[in-house]
Amino acid sequence: SLPFNPHVASLPAYNAGMNIAAARAASGRHDIARLASNENPDGCSPAVMAALASSAFEPWRYADPACSALRAALGERLRIEPSRIVVGNGSEEMIAAISRALLVPGTSVATVVPSFGLHEIEPLAAGASVVKVPMSASLGFDLDALEQAIAAGPRVVFLSSPWNPVGPGLDSQALERLVSAVRPGTLFVLDEAYFEFADPDAPDGIEVLRESGIAHVVLRTFSKAYGLAGLRVGYAVCSDHEVARVIAAAKTPFNVNAAAQLAAIAALEDEAWMKASVARIRAERLRVAAALEKLGLRLAPSQTNFLFFDCGGDSSALAASLLQEGIIVKAWREKGYECFLRATIGSPAENDRLIQALAQLVPAK
Ligand code: PMP
The residue contributing the CA closest to ligand 1 atom 13 is: 90
Residue 14 banded pLDDT, cuts 50, 70, 90? confident
pLDDT at residue 186, rounded to an integer: 98
Strand positions, DSSP E, the chain: 33-34, 85-88, 108-113, 129-134, 156-160, 187-191, 216-221, 234-238, 298-299, 306-310, 327-328, 330-331, 340-344
Instruction: Tell me the per-residue pLDDT of 155-213, one tens digit each, with 9 for 90 and over.
Output: 999 999 999 999 999 999 999 999 999 999 999 999 999 999 999 999 999 999 999 99
- Assign 13 a pLDDT band (cuts: 50, 70, 90): confident
Q: Which mutation among 89, 120, 191, 257 tests ligand 1's pocket best, with the greatest number of atoms within 8 A of CB?
A: 191
What is the rounded CA–CA span in Å between residue 341 and residue 337? 9
Ligand 1 binding site (Cβ under 6 Å of any ligand atom)? 38, 90-92, 116, 160, 164, 191, 193, 221, 223, 229, 234
Question: pLDDT tens-digit profile of 285-312?
Answer: 999 999 999 999 999 999 999 999 999 9
pLDDT exceeds 90 at position 77: yes
Atom 1 in ligand 1: which residue has the minimum CA distance? 193
Measuring CA to CA, how many Å separate 162 from each of 83, 196, 345? 26, 9, 15
**ipTM of the complex in this document:** 0.99
Give the lowest-confidence range in 25-29, 231-235, 263-267. 25-29
DSSP states of 27-72 as a string?
H--S--EE-SS---TT---HHHHHHHHSTT--TTSPPPTT-HHHHH
Nearest atom (ligand 1) to Cα of 91: 16
pLDDT tens figures, 16-57 = 777 899 999 999 999 999 999 999 999 999 999 999 999 999
Q: Name the closest-CA residue to atom 4, ligand 1.
A: 193
281-292 in b/e form (b: 16+ CB < 10 A) is bbebbeebbebb
- Which of 219, 221, 255 is the pocket-test mutation for ligand 1 (most atoms within 8 Å of CB)? 221
pLDDT of residue 365: 65
Q: Is the pLDDT of residue 143 over 90?
A: yes
Q: What pLDDT is stored for residue 1 in this prediction?
A: 83
CA of 282 to the centre of ligand 1 (A): 19
Residue 338 has a pLDDT of 96
Burial of 75 (0-12, 13-18, 19+ CB in 10 A): middle
Q: How far apart are CA 314 and CA 53, in angstroms?
A: 46
Atom of ligand 1 lying closest to residue 223 CA: 15
pLDDT of residue 281 exceeding 90, the answer is yes
pLDDT category of residue 252 using cuts at 50, 70 and 90: very high
Q: How far does residue 61's CA lie from ligand 1's centre (Å)?
A: 28
Q: Summarize pLDDT for 105-126 with one digit per residue, the tens.
A: 999 999 999 999 999 999 999 9
Distance 342 CA to ligand 1 centre (A): 15
DSSP secondary structure letter of residue 194: T
Distance 341 CA to ligand 1 centre (A): 18
Question: Domains in the chain, ordered, with CATH?
Answer: 6-44+272-361 (3.90.1150.10), 46-270 (3.40.640.10)
96 Cα–ligand 1 center, Å: 12
Q: How far apart are CA 339 and CA 139, in angstroms?
A: 13
Contact 296/326 with Cβ under 8 angstroms?
no
Contact 32, 349 (CB under 8 A): no
